[in-house]
Amino acid sequence: MIQEVRVIAKPGLPDSKGDESLYEINRALGIQSVEKVRTARVFRFEGISEKEAAYLAGKLLAEDVFQTYRVNGPVIEDAAVVLEVAYKPGVMNPEAASLLKSASDLGITGLIAADSSWEYGFYGRDISGADIERILNSLLVNATIEYVVREKPQTLVIKGVPGPTGVIPIRRMSDEELLTLSRDKLFLNLEEMKVVQKYFAGLQRDPTDCEIEIIAQTWSEHCVHKTFRAKISMDGQEKPPLLKRLKDATARSKHPLVLSAFVDNSGVMEFYEGTAICGKVETHNSPSAIEPYGGAMTGSGGVFRDIVGTGLGAKVLASTNMFCFAPPGTPGEDIPPGCLHPHYLLRRVVTGVKDYGNRMGIPTNNGSVHFHPDFRAKPTVIVGAYGILPAGSSRKRQPEAGDLVLTLGGRTGRDGIHGATFSSGEMTDRTIDVNASAVQIGHPIEEKRMFDAILAARDKGLLRAITDCGAGGFASAVGEMGSEIGVNIALDRAPLKYPGLAPWEILLSESQERMVLAVAPAHLEQLLEICRGYNVEATVLGEFTGDKRFCATYEGLTVMDLEMEFLHDGLPQRFMTAAWQRPEHPEPTLRETRNWSRLFARVMGHLNVCSKEPIIRLYDHGVQGTSALPPFAGANGDGPNDAAILTPLLGKPYGMVISHGLNPVLNMIDPYHGSLWAAAEAVSNAVSSGANPREMVLIDNFIWPFPDEDALGALDMSVDACVDFVRATGMPFISGKDSLSSTYRGQDGTVIKIPPVLCVSVFGRIPDVSRTVSADFKGAGNQIVLVGCRNTSEMAGSVYYDLQGAIGQNLPKLDPDNLMKVFEAVYAAIDSGKLLACHDISEGGLGAALAEMCFGGATGASITIPADENPEQFLFNETAGCFLAELPADADLADIFSGVPCSVIGKTTAGGLLTAEQYGKTLFTLNLDELKEAWQRPMKEVFH
Amino acid 513: pLDDT: 92
Of 255, 284, 343, 660, the catalytic one is: 284
The pLDDT tens digits of the residues spanning 534-550 come to: 999 999 999 999 999 99
Same domain, 817 and 911: yes
Q: In sequence order, which residues have a C-beta less than 8 Å from that of residue 629 and are 6 or more positions away?
A: 641, 643, 644, 645, 689, 769, 772, 774
Helix 845-857 vs helix 596-604: crossing angle, to nearest 10:
80
Q: Is 36 contained in some domain? A: yes
User: Residue 523: is its pLDDT beyond 80?
Assistant: yes
Amino acid 185: pLDDT: 73
Out of 117-131, 176-190, 806-820, least confident range: 176-190
User: Residue 267: is its pLDDT beyond 70?
Assistant: yes
CA distances from 262 to 247, 268, 606, 693, 736 (A): 8, 9, 37, 21, 7
Same domain, 759 and 778: no
Instruction: Check the CA dihedral 865-866-870-874 and report its sign.
Output: negative
From the list 339, 227, 352, the residue with the least C-alpha distance to 302 is 352
Average pLDDT value for residue range 256-281 = 97
Q: ∠716-718-722 over CA atoms, to 5°?
A: 115
Average pLDDT value for residue range 873-889 = 98
Out of 102-116, 642-656, 671-685, 769-783, least confident range: 102-116
Identity of the residue numbered 84: E
Q: Does this model's pTM top 0.85?
A: yes
Amino acid 802: pLDDT: 97
From the list 424, 413, 399, the residue with the least C-alpha distance to 508 is 413
The pLDDT tens digits of the residues spanning 348-360 come to: 999 999 999 999 9
The pLDDT tens digits of the residues spanning 392-432 come to: 999 888 999 999 999 999 999 887 675 444 444 454 444 44
Higher pLDDT pick, 927 / 747:
927
Kindly indicate the confidence band of residue 3, based on its pLDDT and cuts at 50, 70 and 90. Answer: very high
Of 222, 343, 606, 839, the catalytic one is: 222
Same domain, 755 and 836: no
The pLDDT tens digits of the residues spanning 452-490 come to: 999 999 999 999 999 998 778 999 999 999 999 999 999
Counting Cα atoms < 13 Å in the Cβ hemisphere of 902 gives: 24
Residues making up the annotated binding site for ATP are: 280, 700, 736
Kindly indicate the confidence band of residue 101, based on its pLDDT and cuts at 50, 70 and 90. Answer: confident
Beta strands per DSSP E along 520-567: 538-544, 549-554, 557-563
Active site residue 284: yes
Same domain, 735 and 840: no
Higher pLDDT pick, 90 / 426:
90
Same domain, 651 and 684: yes
Amino acid 543: pLDDT: 98
The pLDDT tens digits of the residues spanning 361-392 come to: 999 999 999 999 999 999 999 999 999 999 99
User: Which residue segment(s) compose the domain that 856 sits in?
Assistant: 773-944
Same domain, 743 and 785: no
Amino acid 128: pLDDT: 94
Kindly indicate the confidence band of residue 439, based on its pLDDT and cuts at 50, 70 and 90. Answer: low
Average pLDDT value for residue range 605-623 = 96
Same domain, 33 and 133: yes
Amino acid 416: pLDDT: 64
Kindly indicate the confidence band of residue 433, based on its pLDDT and cuts at 50, 70 and 90. Answer: very low
Average pLDDT value for residue range 215-240 = 89
User: What's the CATH number where 81 sits?
Assistant: 3.30.1280.10
User: Residue 525: is its pLDDT beyond 60?
Assistant: yes
Same domain, 863 and 805: yes
Residues making up the annotated binding site are: 280, 282, 305-306, 440, 468, 510-512, 700, 736, 739
Look over the chain and give the mean of its residue pLDDT values, rounded to a whole number: 93
Average pLDDT value for residue range 829-848 = 97
Residues making up the annotated binding site for Mg(2+) are: 282, 306, 468
Cα separation, 4 vs 217, whole angstroms: 41
Identity of the residue numbered 630: P
Amino acid 44: pLDDT: 96
Q: In sequence order, which residues have a C-beta less than 8 Å from that of residue 109 and are 6 or more positions away?
A: none
Other Cβ atoms closer than 10 A to 937: 14
Amino acid 119: pLDDT: 97
Average pLDDT value for residue range 722-742 = 96
Cα separation, 293 vs 350, whole angstroms: 8
The pLDDT tens digits of the residues spanning 547-564 come to: 999 999 999 999 999 999
Same domain, 478 and 557: yes
Amino acid 440: pLDDT: 65
Same domain, 375 and 422: no
Cα separation, 703 vs 736, whole angstroms: 11
Active site residue 839: no
User: What's the CATH number where 901 sits?
Assistant: 3.90.650.10
Q: Is 493 contained in some domain? A: yes
Same domain, 766 and 777: no
Domain end call among 538, 570, 602: 570
CA distances from 870 to 256, 602, 637, 865, 907 (A): 45, 19, 34, 8, 20
Q: Is 344 contained in some domain? A: yes
